[in-house]
Amino acid sequence: MRIVDTIRRKRDGARLSDGELRDFVAGVTRGDIPDYQISALLMAIFLRGLDSGELGVLTDAMLHSGRVLDFSDLSGAKVDKHSTGGVGDKISIALAPAVAACGVRVPMISGRGLGHSGGTLDKLESIPGFRTDLDAAKFRSLLGTLGLVLAGQSDDLAPADRRLYALRDVTGTIESIPLIAASIMSKKLAEGIDALVLDVKVGGGAFMKTAERARELARTLVGIGKAAGKQVTAFMTDMNQPIGHAVGNFNEVYEAVDVLRGSGPADTRELTVTLGAEMLRLGHAVDDAAAGRARMERALDSGEALECFLRLVTAQGGDESVFTREPRYAPHQQTITAPRSGHVTTIDAEAIGVAAVMAGAGRARKEDRIDPTVALFVHARIGDRVQAGSALATLHTATAEPGIAHRIAGAFAIGDAPQAAPRLVQETIS
Amino acid sequence: MRIVDTIRRKRDGARLSDGELRDFVAGVTRGDIPDYQISALLMAIFLRGLDSGELGVLTDAMLHSGRVLDFSDLSGAKVDKHSTGGVGDKISIALAPAVAACGVRVPMISGRGLGHSGGTLDKLESIPGFRTDLDAAKFRSLLGTLGLVLAGQSDDLAPADRRLYALRDVTGTIESIPLIAASIMSKKLAEGIDALVLDVKVGGGAFMKTAERARELARTLVGIGKAAGKQVTAFMTDMNQPIGHAVGNFNEVYEAVDVLRGSGPADTRELTVTLGAEMLRLGHAVDDAAAGRARMERALDSGEALECFLRLVTAQGGDESVFTREPRYAPHQQTITAPRSGHVTTIDAEAIGVAAVMAGAGRARKEDRIDPTVALFVHARIGDRVQAGSALATLHTATAEPGIAHRIAGAFAIGDAPQAAPRLVQETIS
């Protein structure tokens, strides 16, 4: 079958055969299908879709396009968590060590910031000396000894996804549920895990803006995982405002460490406990979610989770002493204040994320450098009652950035009527 | 506007602005939009369509992407004909000189064979010495002195179309009515013509298999032409069997010359007269179609049209003496016979075209060479009563080709019930 015939068939709404999908991924991996044919097929898939059978084969071919990790020789279950991305989402940083402290191994491979949304790798690298580019031996060794490793994707893991993703970014084919799902699951299933907990963000600061789209993505991800023989649970969680207060990099790590110290913002702790309880359950460390919650809370409150995190920081080359002193942020501090009294009705979380990127906490282009000292703190949350002139947010930047502060101010809507806070965990799909 | 935003907008079904379409064509022409973005947009256009306003702007931008010919200094109307392509379609070769002989100038730019369908350029080049790669001065000079020129597309005519077409061919985006229409009309409107007659083929041997699709293409082409201020008439004509008997190259030219001698197969002459009558009417050489038919018939029967053709052959470097002797075809002759008695119910014209290409009369790949001595003659027509063992077709090839002869045999269906011949001209749209 020539690739042009595969393109034509998908274009006309046909179901692609297993052979067509595997030939496509093999050609992408070898680099012998030209970009223009790949992008034509991606657009046809975007507009015509893939059924669950096609999607399973596509994902399987992508995950086998490179090395597939195998940790079956290490005792116990290996469980990971993946978030679809939001603003202020530092959950992995507290979650992974807490779960590891409870006896479930976490081989976590994270990504970089994308658009308005931050990335766990970028946040971890704001810890002085911390390395995320681990080789396979180091990765395995940390998972064996600490039960935890936090690394970036190596080049030989799902290489077909890397090429497809780069093309999707420039050809308007990002926002396709099957393509998103195949990209996420091909990487996660190559990690050698037994189970996966998914945090599918929904709302203004998420890539999925509506519950309907988020639910479809969650179901698609769970379906692929189950078809591959893995235990998968997806939580649909609110992304209509940043998680916690910190948006940036080192300030987000520091807030996650607050959670590891048994404190931290309520929503950040709650999401860590909820996701962790399910990871423990899927990893057979507890019998049910209630026991999982109790175990997670104990790990956070006892210091076990923090100890695991600090060991990992040291093992990955980071300077753990930064957590023993108050962090220092960029010198220019601007306070964004409420223009009137009332109730915070909405926060444009995507605008907050974009403002943080503009301030230097993320990348507008791939080659941009992140300034780890840039920090935004969002004090007000949806439903809060605020007084005119009270602080809504504080921005720390290297130079004065009145335009960015103005953008952040514009992200808050204040009204007269009381407003209920959004529910953090909206649905559970498994 | 970044091209990726244009892709996303069309992907989501939006109407593209004039600026977006012109920027796209300008970028394609300059070569600074990567192929993968062009192909993603082509696929989005394929699946989402273009409205008549978008199509007019796209065509106009494509036609102005290169040189636009201007023959307004030459007296009288300049009229061309375009066929959407079929099997055995040698009409242009008789039509153009006949119309020129009647006083309407014909600046005809033709193409090469495509898929199963032949191309006028390939056919003309089977005349020994005949050149179709004329420079602008020669093109103008022949149109001025003979009132007729038959040439290929120069590189500076609608260059955006050339790049788009090459990509469409390999990305499964050929069969899109707006993209087909923009491609045809951008080239034709760049020819400096006042009017255009379109022969939109419909049936098994055409690119448009159904009357509905052919009608939509015909209306789209006429709409673009009228919006550009040209007179345009489209005929939907039958392509459920080859036109005339000859399928190949030199044998097709020879059959067209038979028409120019006042004889030739009835359908070939009829189509020549019908299309020519309309070209004469649009070119103001006659008052109505009936007068046009009479004038065309006189030109064919009196030898005026033949004389014009032979002058053109000489002027374009060809050896006109080949038409004074019986043509000689490739040495291996196979007769395809009827396996039973009955009525010819259908002929798979596309299969006939593909068989001719396989025999060497066309190109499977761009770089293939055509053998002008390969010739297929289809004797039986739909509705004909045939006897078992009587000749359905004769194939002349360089070496024995039993497989191809077998394919040709398979293209004929013979049944018991009498079958009406298809109507040659099915609809007229203007």
Residue found by looking up tokens 């636009």 in the block: B68
Our answer to whether residue B110 is catalytic in this structure is no
Our answer to whether residue A183 is catalytic in this structure is yes
Nearest to B172 among A8, A170, A173 (CB): A8
Which of these is catalytic: A89, A161, A194, A371?
A: A161
Q: Model's pTM, two decimal places?
A: 0.87
pLDDT of residue B229: 94
Q: How far apart are CA A72 and CA A360, in angstroms?
A: 41
Tell whether A13 lies on the interface with B, counting CB pairs under 8 A: no
The alpha carbon of residue B247 is apart from the nearest alpha carbon of chain A, in Å, by 27
Q: Which of A164-173, A286-295, B17-26, B275-284 has the lowest mean pLDDT?
A: A164-173
Closest-CA residue to B430 (of B288, B296, B282)? B282
Our answer to whether residue B183 is catalytic in this structure is yes
Which of these is catalytic: B110, B176, B183, B186?
A: B183
- Chain B residues touching A40 at Cβ < 8 A: 39-40, 42-43, 171-173
pLDDT of residue B395: 98
Which of these is catalytic: B122, B161, B199, B371?
A: B161
Residue of B11, B16, B20, B39 to mutate, interface with A, max A Cβ within 10 Å: B39
Tell whether A46 lies on the interface with B, counting CB pairs under 8 A: yes
Task: Say if residue B70 is exposed, middle or buried (CB neighbours under 10 Å; 0-12, 13-18, 19+).
Answer: exposed
Task: Decide if A40 and B171 are in contact by the 8 Å CB cutoff.
Answer: yes
Our answer to whether residue B168 is catalytic in this structure is yes
pLDDT of residue A363: 84
Task: Decide if B167 and A43 are in contact by the 8 Å CB cutoff.
Answer: no
Residue B90 near residue B84 (C-beta atoms within 8 A): no
Task: Decide if B47 and A42 are in contact by the 8 Å CB cutoff.
Answer: no
The alpha carbon of residue B253 is apart from the nearest alpha carbon of chain A, in Å, by 34
Task: Decide if B8 and A38 are in contact by the 8 Å CB cutoff.
Answer: no
Residue B313 near residue B320 (C-beta atoms within 8 A): yes
Task: Decide if A11 and B43 are in contact by the 8 Å CB cutoff.
Answer: yes
User: Longest Cα pair distance anywhere in chain B, in angstroms?
Assistant: 67
For A125, the 3-state DSSP assignment is: coil
- Chain B residues touching A4 at Cβ < 8 A: 170-172
Q: Does an H or E element contain A391, and which?
A: strand A391-397
In sequence order, the 6+-apart residues with CB closer than 8 A to the CB of B260 are: B94, B97, B98, B300, B305, B306, B309
Confidence of residue A365 (pLDDT cuts 50, 70, 90): confident
Our answer to whether residue B332 is catalytic in this structure is no
Residue found by looking up tokens 């000189």 in the block: B97
Tell whether A170 lies on the interface with B, counting CB pairs under 8 A: yes
Task: Decide if A172 and B8 are in contact by the 8 Å CB cutoff.
Answer: yes
CB pairs under 8 A between A and B: 78
pLDDT of residue A118: 83
Distances (CA, A) of A354 to A205, A351, A366, B122: 10, 5, 15, 58
Residue B69 near residue B156 (C-beta atoms within 8 A): no
Sign of the alpha-carbon torsion through B328, B329, B330, B334: negative
**Which amino acid makes up residue A378?**
V
Both tokens of residue B96?
A: 């153009």
Closest-CA residue to B311 (of B137, B130, B40)? B130
Nearest to A36 among B8, B35, B44 (CB): B35
Average pLDDT, chain A: 95
Task: Decide if B11 and A47 are in contact by the 8 Å CB cutoff.
Answer: yes
Q: Which of residues 26-45 of A touch B (CB under 8 A)?
A: 34-40, 42-44
Percent of chain A topping pLDDT 90: 93
Q: Model confidence over B28-59: pLDDT tens digits? A: 999 999 999 999 999 999 999 999 999 999 99
Average pLDDT, chain B: 96
pLDDT of residue A212: 97
For A193, the 3-state DSSP assignment is: coil
The C-alpha torsion from A179 through A183 and A185 to A188, rounded to 10°, is: -170
Both tokens of residue B129?
A: 């010495």
For A146, the 3-state DSSP assignment is: coil
CA A39 to chain centre: 26
**Which amino acid makes up residue B138?**
K
Tell me the β-bridge partners of A78: A105
Q: What is the pLDDT along chain B (430 residues), one digit of tens a residue?
A: 689 999 999 999 999 999 999 999 999 999 999 999 999 999 999 999 999 999 999 999 999 999 999 999 999 999 999 999 999 999 999 999 999 999 999 999 998 887 788 899 999 999 999 999 999 999 999 999 999 999 998 889 999 999 999 899 899 998 899 999 999 999 999 999 999 999 999 999 999 999 999 999 999 999 999 999 999 999 999 999 999 999 999 999 999 999 999 999 999 999 999 999 999 999 999 999 999 999 999 999 999 999 999 999 999 999 999 999 999 999 999 999 999 999 999 999 999 999 999 999 998 777 788 999 999 999 999 999 999 999 999 999 999 999 999 999 999 999 999 999 999 999 999 9
- Chain B residues touching A34 at Cβ < 8 A: 35, 170
Q: How far apart are CA A347 and CA A342, in angstroms?
A: 14
Residue A304 near residue A120 (C-beta atoms within 8 A): no
Residue of B167, B171, B173 to mutate, interface with A, max A Cβ within 10 Å: B171
Start-end of H helices in A146-210: 159-170, 177-189
Q: Model confidence over B310-325: pLDDT tens digits? A: 999 999 999 999 999 9
Residue found by looking up tokens 């290489």 in the block: A159
Q: How far apart are CA B305 and CA A242, in angstroms?
A: 80
Tell whether B173 lies on the interface with A, counting CB pairs under 8 A: yes
